[in-house]
Amino acid sequence: MAGAAAALAVSLGAGAAAARPDVRTAEPGVTPTSITIGGTVPLSGIASAYASVGRGADAYFKYVNARGGVNGRKIVYRFLDDAYNPASTVQQTRQLVQGDRVFAIYNSLGTEHNLAIRPFLNQAGVPHVFAATGASTFGRDYKRYPWTIGYQPSYVAEGAIYGRYLASRRSGARIAVLFQNDDYGRDVIAGLQSGLGAKGKIVSQAGYEVSDTDVGSQITTLKASGAGVLVIVATPAFAVRAYVAVGKLGWKPAIFVNAVGASTNTMKTADASSGAAAEGSISIAFLKDPSDPQWTNDPGGRLYRQIMKRYGSGDVNDVYNVYAMASAHSLVTALGQAGKSLTRRGLLRALTSLNERDNPFLLPGITVRTSATDRFPIEQARLQRWTKGRWVSFGSLLAARG
């Protein structure tokens, strides 16, 4: 997948890499009464579990619009289905920018997918806002791609949290890793190794392609390594398949599963399909999980359910809706800070000077903070353990940098 993304990026114009923000006098997608933004989300295909990343954001924007919008403008959000195929991401993004003339590309999902469109967007001077991927390049490489910014904790940082935990609790552990064979998977492994230092060893790695239909052979190979710890770096469908394979083999490793494959819905499916092989798994959390009763009477939890009831669709307990609303909340903050005379450059300045302490959908204590030299908006998370059908957080907020 990484090679395909690179080829697509070249087709969009490799010379875009050195682009710098410029001033636009007539901003596409902006009228006196509206701001049109767009992005791509897998509404179908192998990663359709992420469809709520688009739908949840749309619900939040409708809520904002019903209250007057941002500086008197309503937000029009066009999210198109790319079926988790980078080639389709490129096609749909070109349509949004060149055909629909959107103001910004927002919330497009997937590592290889955002890599494929980043050069084009930077060449065109189109804000590439809150790419829905934790790949570290979207925060790290801002000098080369100044119009791009991510949102969630980076995959490197997430892997490092697991590595540090293992180093402190299971020093000397033998670790096996199932990973999606692309930049996303490799980022988590790099962070894991960094966090482990010399206090743990990755003894086996097995990658899968998004076109695969099963990961049974990979799990069999990993079990044969004698590892006592399994780290699953996978999207929801493949995470479930991994748990099913673990259950069939009767393997009982300590399991860590990355956040993008660890929604409550995914874990319940894994439990039901694997004979509870998921019990005791560890992941990270930075959002208020709507299935967690501790947020029922929380102001953010109540607001979330209010928005879902009036404007949302799908499963109210889907945490990806919460992710979408957190991201949309931060975009609305930035749009407000960009002022009434809205320009793409003004939005970029706002996106790189955020200090949002009141995002109602993030865990208490987490701040969305950026600067001209820090493009990692969320750099904190907590550990959580899958216990009897729900996630239970433990420990304090941890630094999630990288």
Could you tell me the residue ranges of all domains in the chain? Answer: 2-153+298-371, 155-285+383-399
Instruction: Quickly state the pLDDT bin for 402 (edges 50, 70, 90).
Output: low
Taking residues 4-20, report their average pLDDT.
42
Please check the confidence at residue 179 and state whether its pLDDT lies above 50: yes
Supply the pLDDT for residue 13: 44
Please check the confidence at residue 1 and state whether its pLDDT lies above 70: no
Q: Does domain 155-285+383-399 have CATH number 3.40.50.2300?
A: yes
Q: What are phi and psi of 338, to 5 degrees?
A: -70, -15
CATH topology of domain 2-153+298-371: Rossmann fold (3.40.50)
Taking residues 9-28, report their average pLDDT.
49
Buried b / exposed e over 203-226, threshold 16 CB at 10 Å, is bbbbbbebeeeebeebbeebbebe
Supply the pLDDT for residue 401: 75
* CATH fold match for the domains 2-153+298-371 and 155-285+383-399: yes
Q: In what order do the strands lie in the sheet with 128-131?
A: 74-81, 34-41, 104-106, 128-131, 148-150
Please check the confidence at residue 25 and state whether its pLDDT lies above 90: no
Going by DSSP bridges, is the β-strand pair 282-285/128-131 parallel, antiparallel, or unpaired?
unpaired
Q: Which of these, 305, 258, 304, lies nearest to 283 by C-alpha position?
A: 258
Taking residues 270-283, report their average pLDDT.
95
Other CB atoms within 10 A of residue 168 CB: 10
- What digits encode the pLDDT tens for the residues 315-340? 999 999 999 999 999 999 999 999 99
Q: Which of these, 271, 189, 191, lies nearest to 233 by C-alpha position?
A: 189
Output the average pLDDT for the chain: 93
Please name the amino acid found at residue 36: T
Q: What is the pTM (predicted TM-score) of this model?
A: 0.90
Please check the confidence at residue 65 and state whether its pLDDT lies above 90: yes
Q: In what order do the strands lie in the sheet with 282-285?
A: 200-208, 173-180, 229-233, 254-257, 282-285, 380-387, 390-399
Residue 69 CA to residue 186 CA, distance in Å, equals 40
Going by DSSP bridges, is the β-strand pair 380-387/282-285 parallel, antiparallel, or unpaired?
antiparallel
- What digits encode the pLDDT tens for the residues 133-178? 999 999 999 999 999 999 999 999 999 999 999 999 998 999 999 9
The rounded radius of gyration (Å) of the Cα atoms in the chain is: 20
DSSP secondary structure string for all residues of 38-64: EEEE-SSSTTGGGHHHHHHHHHHHHHH
What end-to-end distance do the CA atoms of the chain give, in Å? 23
Beta-bridge partners for 386: 391
Taking residues 75-79, report their average pLDDT.
98
Please check the confidence at residue 3 and state whether its pLDDT lies above 90: no
Please name the amino acid found at residue 141: D
Supply the pLDDT for residue 20: 45
Supply the pLDDT for residue 400: 84
Please check the confidence at residue 50 and state whether its pLDDT lies above 80: yes
